[in-house]
Structure 1
């Protein structure tokens, strides 16, 4: 795929085979990966120690390109530049808040312009289906930028009534340099989740990808260069500084007998298999009331078998490869543990024999709470279906985990939906839906699933310091 600096991704015509275009967005042919360096202070840099690493297309195993690898010295250089940019009196700090919002809108405009290219690169780099990249990752990134662009001139303090001879008010000020580590499963979207609110509040940001460097984030670095802002690539360690964490999940879904069963099947499978199961929000534990258990399993197997597995650049594909060999091997090992511990593998769960890191979506029934597949975050296309008898039992088992990121309830009974939602120990509860994420709504977890919140107005508090100013007044004579 990468020969002499040119990336061939198999798209030879409108549909990759010269046939007429289909009635939905199409990937573009990526002739060259242009941005592989470290982005610091609005400039591209090579690694100070000359380090690079290779990144591979998980659908084909072919090298895409080599990327500059930041070391400690590069991190220090990025932090120094970010600190200088955040100092009082700098152009960034002197910029009025409305102009800051316009810059975020400008970046969103540029991403709209390059949307098909960015979606194609995201697919080549991560293996996720192109339409998922286009309609979820890119759409979500652009909406997040526009949402926080609108907040830039609306972050304000309050006045508080105190003693008669004093006036007291608060200011919301930027914390300064923010460090962010972005995951490899949604590199572009998570990049925007962290960068947009931080910039909205007037901070500077140092970004480090977790493991693989996302090519889309590097390309966005080039778009940021057009905007004239500085965002970068590197790492930051925590000490006594404020930290927000969005971590793992072992997310429960509770399906009651009175629910729309087909809807529950479709939504829980979207939750289990979206992005090849490589989601912190993956619907990895599905508790089904015993009256409808067998029917739910039957429909789930039928649905899983209809999933289209193939070239992620083909818009008809809905399931692509896992991200890398390490993740691929881990998923298969956990699937094997499920069979050995007594769960029934209803379908899938095997590696595809063709090129690429493909695993057929697996459905397990008769899963017990003590099994590894019931306790460990698999981060792969594995759906585990449990049986329950009573509402209280379902709640207790759903909460019986160290994680608390997301959950779902499927029922036609509004009273039950509200009472169960209140009882679930998770940062997000979806009712009769799954993975319904919006820039306006906060996202984060309870327990070991994290600390703090991303998105919505709540995220602004993570990137701001609140200062109280109290003034002694002189009484008029």
Structure 2
């Protein structure tokens, strides 16, 4: 592919579109381009061309690689009001959440990782004998992703669900074992801290947990005891581009966000060099 083709915004191969519908009214907002196998192949070819040794992208200075991400963040921020309104029309969430939470996190993530472009360093190691050893972080290659759809709920016409609270829920029922993507709260009773920890850890999932307490000893214990990738203490649903997020057990592998989020996209290579004389 030419350099122009690897940076182009292309129309779909077969010119087909599909409607996106407002969940609040059921009306069609717009028609969106529908990609197919040929479109995916073009994207893969462009990505693979950029991945090849000696390609223009592989030779770009690390400090310059963050610039496109900074630029994208600036463009998004310039259209923040429009994009928040579009997000609200598309999935029905409150405008204030789209504007203050979703788009805020988008901006922070782009700028955070733009800053990492020239800071993901290798290490050097003291070796026995006349050798010098160091590590490199190299790109794992072309990655294809299926993005979570948590905010795009598909429900029957009407799209409105009345909030519900279920009391005295037993551990064996579905709403106690599975995440409900809707305004549903479950209340489960317990007598001791050890009991609630054991019951929580009996789940096959382990994405996140939260505890509210004024007792620092309980906060310390309950931040360590749950088998979960995230534990919130006296807060809930707080995320940052700097902090890794991911789950234990069936809630997934690996982490996103923070420095840990880079690990899935790189391979660590060890290079050991014979030298004529070592001076530590």
TM category, shorter: over 0.9
Structure 1: gaps spanning 5 or more residues: 1-39, 187-211, 213-322, 329-354
| Structure 2 equivalent of residue 247 of structure 1 | none
Displacement, 1:176?
2.0
| Structure 2 equivalent of residue 190 of structure 1 | none
| Residue 366 of structure 1 pairs with residue 196 of structure 2 | no
Displacement, 1:474?
1.7
- What is the alpha-carbon distance in structure 2 between the residues aligned to residue 134 and residue 49 of structure 1? 34
- What is the alpha-carbon distance in structure 1 between the residues aligned to residue 277 and residue 240 of structure 2? 50
| Residue 132 of structure 1 pairs with residue 97 of structure 2 | yes
Query: What is the aligned-residue RMSD (CA, Å)?
Result: 1.7
- What is the alpha-carbon distance in structure 2 between the residues aligned to residue 151 and residue 406 of structure 1? 26
| Structure 2 equivalent of residue 108 of structure 1 | 73
| Structure 2 equivalent of residue 266 of structure 1 | none
Displacement, 1:50?
4.3
Structure 2: gaps spanning 5 or more residues: none
Matched residue SS, 1:92: coil
| Structure 2 equivalent of residue 466 of structure 1 | 268
Contact 2:150 2:181 in 1 (8 A): no
| Structure 1 equivalent of residue 259 of structure 2 | 457
- What is the alpha-carbon distance in structure 2 between the residues aligned to residue 475 and residue 97 of structure 1? 31
Deviations 1:132-179 (A, max 9, x none): 000001101101111111111111111101122111011111112111
Displacement, 1:43?
2.8
- What is the alpha-carbon distance in structure 1 between the residues aligned to residue 12 and residue 73 of structure 2? 29
The number of residues matched between the two structures is 274
| Residue 44 of structure 1 pairs with residue 9 of structure 2 | yes
Deviations 1:234-268 (A, max 9, x none): xxxxxxxxxxxxxxxxxxxxxxxxxxxxxxxxxxx
- What is the alpha-carbon distance in structure 2 between the residues aligned to residue 472 and residue 109 of structure 1? 47
Normalization by structure 1: what TM-score? 0.55
Corresponding residue to 1:423 among 225, 235, 251:
225
Deviations 1:325-365 (A, max 9, x none): 2xx5xxxxxxxxxxxxxxxxxxxxxxxxxx83111211111
| Residue 438 of structure 1 pairs with residue 240 of structure 2 | yes
Question: Which 4+ stretches in 1 moved above 6 angstroms?
Answer: none
Assess, with a 3 A threshold, how the Cα gap between structure 1 residues 44 and 146 changes in structure 2: closer, same or farther.
closer
- What is the alpha-carbon distance in structure 2 between the residues aligned to residue 324 and residue 475 of structure 1? 67
Contact 1:168 1:471 in 2 (8 A): yes
Contact 1:108 1:145 in 2 (8 A): yes
Corresponding residue to 1:96 among 61, 66, 69:
61
Deviations 1:98-133 (A, max 9, x none): 111222111111111111111111111111110100
Normalization by structure 2: what TM-score? 0.92
Contact 1:126 1:185 in 2 (8 A): no
Matched residue SS, 2:211: strand
Displacement, 1:376?
2.3
